[in-house]
A and B are shown apart, each in its own frame.
Chain A
Amino acid sequence: MNEITITIDGKQVRTQEGEYILNAARANGIFIPAICYLTRCSPTLACRICLVEADGKQVYACNAKAKMGMDINTKTPVIEEEKRAIMEVYDVNHPLECGVCDQSGECELQNYTLEIGVDKQHYSIADTHKPAQDWGLIHYDPALCIMCERCITVCKDMIGDAALSTVARGSEPLDAAFKESMPKDAYAMWNKLNKSLIAPNAGDTLDCTNCGECTAVCPVGALVSSDYQYSSNAWEHQQIPATCAHCSAGCQISYDIKHTDIANPEAKIYRVKNEWNYVSLCGAGRYGYDFQNSNVTKNPVAFDAAIKAFKKADTIAFTSTITNEEAMILQRLKEKLGLKLINNEARVFKNFLDSYSAVSGQSLYSGNLKEVHESDFVVSIGTALKTDNPNARFAMNNALSMNKGAGLYFHPINDPVIEDMSKNLTQFNHAPMMEEAALYLMLDLFGDKTAMPSITVDYLKSFHSLKTVTVEESVDEKVTETVIKKVLNEETGVEEEVSEEVTKTVKKKVSKEIEVDENRLLDLLNAPTGFAETLTKYLAKKEKFSLMVGPDLYTHPNSANCARLVALIEKYTAFNVTMIPNLANTLGVALICDLDEKAGEYTIGYNTAGDFTLSALGNGDLDMPALNQQEGTLTSIDKRVNPTNVALPFGGYTLNDVASALGVSAALSVDYTVQLPVSAGFKAVEFDTLPNHYTNAGEEVRGYVLDTLKVFCGKDENVQAFDEKDAMTTSVVYLANPVLQFTPFTARAHQLNEEGGLYASSEFMSSNGLNLGDNVRVKTPKGEIVVSVINDSKINGDITYLPTFDSKINSQALFGDYRFSNVTIEKV
């Protein structure tokens, strides 16, 4: 793309060729009103208010692309008249309930009405009764809806649920006289608005993954959170800029806080808001905000017991739902007291990274989610994408729908949500343990065979065989015929018969024997028939390739080999690679802490079981602050160190207090921000200097990006062959969480509070005679538990999964390192 110069209202503006005029104007601080447009999504052209004049022609700024030397005028009398009429139409029959509306002044309808100065109304139509609807977590009031369709757009282009669409409004047609008297665009907008309303595709309720992004993008108070409804006014909130604490996406959020009620001045989080133009949240981020450890006071007895326990202990076990600073404190404690640090999930990720570095020569993977958003061919291997990292799923969907992209999804569990993303997406529901086959397939399909190590090339060749198949082909055959034509002889005026030779093409079916290349890797991965042709179609005009790999590979028994394969893919194909860390700060913990494999005799558990537990979940021996009660940094999938701030007060002791008493002292936890290891890519930056915002141009100004360091690597690029016999073909169970859940913290939030169980598809339940709520005994080689069956409508197939978010279910004990395990499930 080339940088070009355009002129908007006499101001010279530099932008990229092909950028929408609206985005160019926004990035340069020029205001063009727009209601229906969403950055990163396709233009809807519903509101038509972004009308501008480009080189003397009226265009919509949201879908007209900037060309070199374009002269744009945003204010002409005609355009002003159109805008005024559009805003008058939006105000027709809009209920005057601004006093109680949940938008409470953050209303784009209100803003533009005042901006454009609507003080008279020229249009009218009889109103219809449109009752409000309750869609579970979301409340829809159609009377307030202005049909900008932003909810539909974001659900389709960004989230990928496509759960909303328009239905008939059932109102009277417009008065025909308006067509003559009204400005053209305003009439067209009104005509469309008057015919439609928003409705869920599933009828009365929403069938989606409950991200709530539709409520975030709604410009008026039509779509709101049911929980927030009428509980507060927007202007009363103090907004605390933070980073979401639930998964590795590290989305920027703001906790909106206010006093609890008239009697209790203590802060309470009322809702979570996001910069929806630049970051989309999942439901866990949006609704799982009140996971704080509340009503904690300093308990000196418990504190002394903790100090004693630390002196006695030889191991600290912890989870990755902690800040970088806490990880740093744990590492210092390890150095000072000679403790062991146990965090299995971060350790396997670290090992994976190390094995990757050994081949790639880089300390970190090359990609990030922004690049996935921008690519047009996306592959995901070894991750239950929609629940491991919802933002990675949004990125993949966004790439597929906005860049006319195509994608491949390798995972044992068939996911209807992924299936619905795009027609140009193929799911490979391979057997567990066949992840290496998927990686080899990537090398085989996309690798530069001339540069790749010859052993690997030969190994890949061994999967190919020539097979003779009989195909029916239609062949064009030329047939020459002699036809007799009557032609008028112009000289004589007499019709004469002339014979003429005519060549015709006739389609003919021919059965033919041809030799085709058969790829055994495709069979191993259960590829759909005819995949080779599908792939050729997918790959047409593709320029930017992204690969996302996930926790199934880190926990894989041959994870080191998987990591080397990933490094080879990055080296010898056009793909950039993004690794999905399991939890909020898995990457940070992996980089900061020296993790041990085996625990000692006396363990201190931090947010996990131990002989003495420090816990932010309120069930430990010493209370700790949760991540919304702490300041610090979290390392995200984008390799970014994002700051998060204190939203709610905490009255107890922090990890820093404990460490200080043990001789690793600092005044504040955030004093460790500057001390984070530069040798791992961190920067020596003070916490208070870390920014946390987006610019109008959509640039992410948050924290800093980790340095990718050069790592010594030998010339050894050997990868091991995999054994087809390892494929787990019997009944298996997976270790994953349902939509909206990540950790015990999400389950603590009042809107997401639920109990876990064995999650199974409807198909599995009916074929095994199971009903909702039945108790089953889940038995794996490692142990057994009895849990109730829960139906997950967002998976298909025979593989069930056990969650990790419910601390009452010790699901991890049933698994080895690998996320899949053989299982027998019987009803009790």
Chain B
Amino acid sequence: MHSEPLNDRNVSEHSAYYYVDIEEYPTTGWDKFKQVVKRTFRGELFVGLWVVMREMIKFDIHTVKYPLEKLPIGPRYRAVHKLLRLWESGYERCIGCGLCEKICISDCIRMDTKIDENSRKEVTEYSINLGRCIFCGYCAEVCPELAIVHGQRYENGSEQRAHFVIKDDMLTPLDFLTSGQQAEYPGFGAITPNESVTKTPLAY
């Protein structure tokens, strides 16, 4: 669709804009009173009630029964983050490189790292301030280990405006992993599956 007709804001018969035919508003008190009486006793309310009644009796309802029922969302949808584990060993994928922290444009990721007893970098704390997160997906895109990904949980209702997700909330629980419930993120930043991918995919 071309946008040119919309850019022309001079209302005329040639443009896409036109005046809606609206009745004049009543101005005097008597006219206003007449309008109220007319609207009250015309029975328009019952038209609507009848439609509801008719559909109820037909038992053919298309409404999604949220929150009992949820629509599937697109694979590229960027909802609340998840931290994944390696399929093979069950270790955390996150190596603590800090790239997500660096790239985050709303500066809402923070992590604490230390050296663990195996001389590896251990991520002791990881948090995303969802009050500030704009769900841009940069963190998932930059992650070299495909460790932080976006999940499908979009309900962010909370008592606090700035609630956090911390590491325990995001990390795949071990029983989830063993029962095969950890989902790879198929959205932006993920790799195209091919033969070279064995079990745990890597970005390179």
A interface list, Cβ under 8 A from B? 99-100, 104, 132, 229-233, 235-236, 259, 261-263
Q: From A230, A232, A236, A261, name the one whose CB has the most chain B CB atoms within 10 angstroms.
A: A230
The interface residues of chain B lying within 8 Å CB-to-CB of A231 are 113-115
Give the shortest distance, in Å, between B14 (CB) and chain A (any CB): 59
Q: Does B102 contact A (CB under 8 A)?
A: yes
Q: Does B98 contact A (CB under 8 A)?
A: yes
The interface residues of chain A lying within 8 Å CB-to-CB of B111 are 262
Known: A100-B121, A235-B102, A261-B125. A230 touches B97 (CB 8 A): no
**Which of B96, B112, B126 makes the CB contact (< 8 A) with A100?**
B96
Looking across the interface, which residue of chain A has its beta carbon closest to that of B111?
A262
* Complex Cα gap A132–B118 (Å): 11
Q: From A104, A229, A233, A235, name the one whose CB has the most chain B CB atoms within 10 angstroms.
A: A233
* Complex Cα gap A232–B125 (Å): 13
A233 and B125 within 8 A (CB)? no
The interface residues of chain A lying within 8 Å CB-to-CB of B95 are 99-100
Interface string of B77-113 (1 = CB under 8 A from A): 0000000000000000001111101100000001111
B113 and A99 within 8 A (CB)? no
The interface residues of chain A lying within 8 Å CB-to-CB of B152 are none
* Complex Cα gap A233–B97 (Å): 8
Known: A99-B95, A100-B95, A262-B112. A230 touches B121 (CB 8 A): yes
Q: Does B144 contact A (CB under 8 A)?
A: yes
The interface residues of chain A lying within 8 Å CB-to-CB of B101 are 233, 236
Chain A interface, >50% SS class? loop
Provide a sorted-by-A list of 27 A–B residue pairs whose CB atoms are within 8 angstroms.
A99-B97, A99-B99, A99-B145, A100-B95, A100-B121, A132-B119, A229-B115, A230-B96, A230-B113, A230-B114, A230-B115, A230-B121, A231-B115, A233-B97, A233-B102, A235-B98, A235-B102, A236-B98, A236-B101, A236-B102, A261-B125, A262-B110, A262-B111, A262-B112, A262-B125, A262-B127, A263-B125
* Complex Cα gap A715–B127 (Å): 75
Looking across the interface, which residue of chain A has its beta carbon closest to that of B145?
A99
B127 and A100 within 8 A (CB)? no
* Complex Cα gap A259–B107 (Å): 13
* Complex Cα gap A199–B91 (Å): 34
**Which of A104, A261, A262 makes the CB contact (< 8 A) with B98?**
A104
Give the shortest distance, in Å, between B164 (CB) and chain A (any CB): 9
Looking across the interface, which residue of chain B has its beta carbon closest to that of A97?
B95
B110 and A99 within 8 A (CB)? no
Interface size on B, residues (CB 8 A): 22
* Complex Cα gap A230–B111 (Å): 12
B97 and A100 within 8 A (CB)? yes
B113 and A232 within 8 A (CB)? yes
Give the shortest distance, in Å, between A728 (CB) and chain B (any CB): 50
Q: From A99, A132, A262, name the one whose CB has the most chain B CB atoms within 10 angstroms.
A: A262
Interface string of B110-134 (1 = CB under 8 A from A): 1111110001111001110000000
B112 and A261 within 8 A (CB)? yes
The interface residues of chain A lying within 8 Å CB-to-CB of B121 are 100, 230
* Complex Cα gap A259–B114 (Å): 15
* Complex Cα gap A230–B144 (Å): 18
Give the shortest distance, in Å, between B81 (CB) and chain A (any CB): 15
Interface string of B37-71 (1 = CB under 8 A from A): 00000000000000000000000000000000000
A99 and B144 within 8 A (CB)? yes
Looking across the interface, which residue of chain B has its beta carbon closest to that of A265?
B110
* Complex Cα gap A232–B113 (Å): 7
Looking across the interface, which residue of chain A has its beta carbon closest to that of B102?
A235
The interface residues of chain B lying within 8 Å CB-to-CB of A100 are 95-97, 120-121
Give the shortest distance, in Å, between A78 (CB) and chain B (any CB): 34
The interface residues of chain A lying within 8 Å CB-to-CB of B122 are 230
* Complex Cα gap A232–B114 (Å): 8
Looking across the interface, which residue of chain A has its beta carbon closest to that of B144?
A99
The interface residues of chain B lying within 8 Å CB-to-CB of A259 are 110
Give the shortest distance, in Å, between B168 (CB) and chain A (any CB): 13
Looking across the interface, which residue of chain B has its beta carbon closest to that of A232?
B113
Give the shortest distance, in Å, between A480 (CB) and chain B (any CB): 80
Closest 7 CB pairs of A and B: A99-B97, A230-B115, A100-B121, A230-B121, A233-B98, A262-B110, A262-B125
Give the shortest distance, in Å, between B109 (CB) and chain A (any CB): 10
* Complex Cα gap A132–B121 (Å): 14
* Complex Cα gap A710–B42 (Å): 109
Give the shortest distance, in Å, between A229 (CB) and chain B (any CB): 5
The interface residues of chain A lying within 8 Å CB-to-CB of B145 are 99
Interface string of B12-49 (1 = CB under 8 A from A): 00000000000000000000000000000000000000
Give the shortest distance, in Å, between A24 (CB) and chain B (any CB): 37
Give the shortest distance, in Å, between A477 (CB) and chain B (any CB): 73
* Complex Cα gap A589–B119 (Å): 47
The interface residues of chain A lying within 8 Å CB-to-CB of B96 are 100, 230
Give the shortest distance, in Å, between A116 (CB) and chain B (any CB): 22
Looking across the interface, which residue of chain A has its beta carbon closest to that of B143?
A99
The interface residues of chain B lying within 8 Å CB-to-CB of A232 are 113
The interface residues of chain A lying within 8 Å CB-to-CB of B125 are 261-263
* Complex Cα gap A616–B99 (Å): 38
The interface residues of chain B lying within 8 Å CB-to-CB of A104 are 98
Give the shortest distance, in Å, between B67 (CB) and chain A (any CB): 31
Give the shortest distance, in Å, between A393 (CB) and chain B (any CB): 32
Using a CB-CB cutoff of 8 Å, which residues 143-199 of chain B contact chain A? 144-145
Looking across the interface, which residue of chain B has its beta carbon closest to that of A227?
B115
Give the shortest distance, in Å, between A102 (CB) and chain B (any CB): 9
The interface residues of chain A lying within 8 Å CB-to-CB of B119 are 132
* Complex Cα gap A56–B88 (Å): 59
The interface residues of chain A lying within 8 Å CB-to-CB of B120 are 100
Seed contacts A99-B97, A231-B114; 10 additional CB < 8 Å A-B pairs: A100-B95, A100-B97, A230-B114, A230-B115, A233-B97, A236-B101, A259-B110, A261-B125, A262-B125, A262-B127
